[in-house]
Structure 1
Amino acid sequence: MLLTLHTEQCWTEFGKKCVGVHYGIYNAKDLDTFIESVRNGQDALKEHRIAFAKNEVMINYPHTTQKIYENLVQSIFDKKE
């Protein structure tokens, strides 16, 4: 992920929070290091990502997700009839 000041200025607060719980990958070496670290069980941001997902992303989960799924299924079957 290549970051520039201009890109950062365009992010919403939520977007900034998302970036804050993920690793910055700036080149192939960073990617290799990240993959090896995770394969070796070293993921310093894992707990932060889980907490972020629970507190910021998964609000009303799984209820909202279930309703969206049900609506999609219903709309598909309604169109077939």
Structure 2
Amino acid sequence: MQEQQFVAFGTLIDVTLHGVDAAQAQQAFTTLEHDLNQWHRDWHAWQPGLLTDLNRALATQGEADVPATLRPLIEGAQRLSVQSGGLFDPA
């Protein structure tokens, strides 16, 4: 069993891996921590990042190209909006 703890999205995250050696676990921990922190930067609602850039472009230009890394986030939010009958609407 391999364990790692790190901070991402403003919270403490504990990860436990079973059935992998220490080198494999360290690679997985490093990749996961990097990806979560990258998503935090890209998706943050008010700190500089891809989402704030997209929102600014939409507000000032009325349209914008959606970066590929934001598409899953936006598409998921759109699905939740439809499924909730508009009760959840991130727009």
Give the TM-score of the pair, scaled to structure 2. Answer: 0.29
Give the TM-score of the pair, scaled to structure 1. Answer: 0.31
| Greater strand share, structure number | 2
Find the structure with the greater CA-based Rg.
1
